[in-house]
Every structure is written in C-alpha cells, then in structure tokens.
Amino acid sequence: MKVTVAAVQMACGWDRDANLRKAEALVREAASRGANIVLLQEMFSTHFFGFMDWKPEYFALAAPVEGNPVLARMAALAKELGVVLPVNFFERANNAYYNTVMVIDADGRELGIYRKSHIPVGPPGCFEKVYTSPGDTGFKVWKTRYGTIGVGICWDQWFPEAARIMCLLGAELLFYPTAIGSDCHDHWQRAMQGHAAANLTPLVVSNRVGTESGEFGTTNFWGRSFVAGPTGEIVAEAGGEEEVITATFDLEAIREMRANWGVFRDRRPDLYGPLLSLDGVTRSV
C-alpha cells in the first residue's frame, strides 16, 4: 500500500480560533496534494506557553478529552477530507495536566491518546514541567486506514528507546509533532534520521515557525519540518516559513526491506537489561 504523508508548519498567536483556521487551511492544502496522513505541530492551537512564561492562568487552556472542541473540530475535518490526523493538545484529566496526542482516523473516529513521556527542563524560560506531568500511557501504536502509526511528542524524539518500542509494536510510520527553536538543528535532525534508519521506518516531523515572546524571554521557532525515509535519508524538508511538505512511501516494500535487513530478527533482548535502569546497572529482583 502506498501512503502519502504530510507535515505542516505554521506560526501561532494567542487567538485560538485564528490558529485553528490556519491549521485547517494547511490540512486542506495537504489533502489537496494527496496526503493521507497529515501531521500538525506541537500545541498548534495556542501560543506555546510552555516556553517563556510561568502564569497559573495558562492552566485554563487545558481541556478534557471528552467534549474537547479542538478534537471535535479536527475530527470533523479528518472525516470530511478522509485523512488521518494526529492532533496534539493540552489535556486536563481531573487534577492532572498532560501534553497529549489524539489519533483521529480518516473516518473521524478518535482512536486513542498518547501522553508525552519525556518532559524537558530545557534552557532558562522552559516551564513544561510546571504545566504538564510525564505521560502515563506508555508508547503506543494505532491501526489507521493508512497503516499502523506511532506518535511521539517533541522531547520524546531524542530517545531511541521510544522509536524502537513503537516499531516493535508494529509502527510502519513514526510521527513527531514538535516545538523547538534552540541552536541544535543539525543535531536534532540527525538524531531522528537515526531513528528512521535504525528501524527502517519512515519518520515525519512537524515543527513550529515564528517568534513567540513571554515574560522570561523569546523563542524563535525555526521550522525545518522534514520527512525521513526508511534508511534515514531526507526525502522532504521545509524552510523557515509556513509550509506544507509531502512524501509517498510503499509500506509493503518497506516491510520487505525491514525483514530482509534483520535488525529486528537479530535483536538480543536478553542482553538489554541495563536499559531498564538509569545508571546502566542490572539488578536482581
């Protein structure tokens, strides 16, 4: 099965409805170019309050999964266009808050959530740990109309364990909504190219663009969203402005390639015990 993926990138402001209108327009553009799965960036419906500001009123931007207006709007769009949408949002779950993705299938059904596992401290002015707790869902995959996908969120992209687990669970494509603007672009891109290459699995990244300011500083999001192929090669890459990029993959051909290379066949889980500890020491129970 051939699947066309898209990454879209945009600048965001404090007007949530304006952000959503812009996101819808970009998804429509991607669909008009044949995209089957469209990835929007991290926290696309708001200014990214996780950077630059520590204000309790920002917790009011979170909403539960049930009755969530952003999810309802994106679900209607997915159904209308027949596209799969991994939708990132700020979730409130009773007294807990998470950075969460809902995977919406091409018929508008909500398939389930993933909560961001790794929460960064980052440079001065990054307050993600104030607003969100580490996710409790574990890494997950979803069978969609256009293949089985895995989704990580931003800081998750630095951890090869996350990508490997999703691929072990059957992910045929990996997606990472992102918001990053520090001086580490080349390192950032190479790390994710490595995930694609090590797992022989295409990978899609959507990053924000534009400048966003708060009380504690300013962040320049540099975009550069990209799609990596199954050997880590860059097959599509955006610049620093609002943009849509696409790429097409033959999932059956890639599945054959993956099996032929043997990177999953030749794994030695019996030797990987040190991965289960922070200091690399295997301890008996």
> Which are the catalytic amino acids?
42, 116, 154
Please give the full DSSP string across 190-256, using - where no structure is assigned: HHHHHHHHHHT--EEEEE-EEEEEETTEEEEEE---EEE-TTS-EEEE--SSSEEEEEEEEHHHHHH
Q: Please say whether the beta carbons of 195 and 168 come within 8 A.
A: no
Separation CA 111–CA 63 (nearest Å):
18
Residues 6+ apart with CB under 8 A from 51: 122, 125, 126, 127, 179, 212, 214, 217, 219
How many residues does the structure list for the chain? Answer: 285
Separation CA 160–CA 103 (nearest Å):
22
Separation CA 268–CA 264 (nearest Å):
9
